[in-house]
Chain A
Amino acid sequence: MKNLEKYKNVFIEAFQIKESQLGGLKYQDVDEWDSVGHMGLMTELEEAFDIEMDIDDIIDFSSFEKGIEIMGKYNVVING
């Protein structure tokens, strides 16, 4: 599975949303992405990509696109 697909799937499963909702999705745009949902999302991403994110990155992870940029810091390249 490509990283992009894996990345998208984590969001889709964590927040029970459609793929069409992912582009431009920001923290608190959907009810499920609240502070608790954020904890779950971060845990699932760490597990899916076998990484350990810095606390600053966990806090800065404010959107679907920002997340792609942050994942790059951990050598997880996400592109189409």
Chain B
Amino acid sequence: MFSEKIAESSLEYFVKSYVFNKSKKKTIIFIHGLFGTSGYWLTFLKYFKNFKILILDIDYPKIFIENPNKINLHKLLESMLEDYNEYILISHSMGTVLAQYFPEKKIKISYEICPIKNSVKNNKKKFLKEIDSVTNLSKKEIKNILEKATIFLSNSGIENKSLNKKQYFPKLDLFFNEPLISENKQLFEGSHFNITNSISMINKDLTIN
């Protein structure tokens, strides 16, 4: 379990992980968004019964407070995943930004749901209200985390164009605008926080490939 005593240079200080279906060969790693938790994926696991499942529980505020370059997130993740030869990433929202720090050579494909890297923020007040309704944090704390998240986002580097990835955008996203839809970008019925249909599309894609 997570412990404050864990050294800040250790990945465990920022990320906990849960592994299920350990005997399966192919691995999927799930990366939740900023105000989410590992539990966000629980209802979606039924779509991925044939995979080894690694679910991360990420303490984003801690990552934001520690400069990700200072802690070398990439190296910490590389070390955590050294026993894995290849994996599929499924990430949501801020998780799609964190996905960029994963060792790319081992990524078979990266599925990004509601990626925010190049999106334009909409309805900031409504977004704040939405987050306020699903967390125990005060408005001040939420604003503080969002400010730090914006800095993290702007420092997160250039998007890797060579990575094999597919992006899924909700037809209606009240909070983020992504104007460009191309071959690897698909629309799904849903919203920024209702992503069930995108999971279903990813499941189909994995079945075909």
Contacts and interface: CB of A to CB of B under 8 A. Distances in A.
A54 B18 contact: no
B19 A54 contact: no
B177 interface: no
Interface string B68-81: 00000000000000
Given A54-B49, A55-B46, A55-B49, A36 B38 contact: yes
B45 A52 contact: no
Contacts of A38: 39, 42
A58 B39 contact: no
Interface string A20-43: 000000000000001111111011
Interface in B17-32: 18-23
A55 B48 CA distance: 8
Interface string B140-182: 0000000000000000000000000000000000000000000
Contact of A42 (B20, B37, B40, B46): B20
A37 B39 CA distance: 8
What class of interface size applies to chain B in its complex with A? 20 to 34
B28 to A, nearest CB: 12
Contacts of B23: 52
Contact of A43 (B18, B37, B39): B18
A71 to B, nearest CB: 16
Contacts of B3: none
Contacts of A58: 20, 45
Contacts of A52: 20-23
The 9 A-B residue pairs with the shortest CB-CB distance, nearest first, are A35-B39, A36-B39, A39-B18, A55-B49, A35-B42, A36-B37, A55-B45, A43-B18, A39-B38
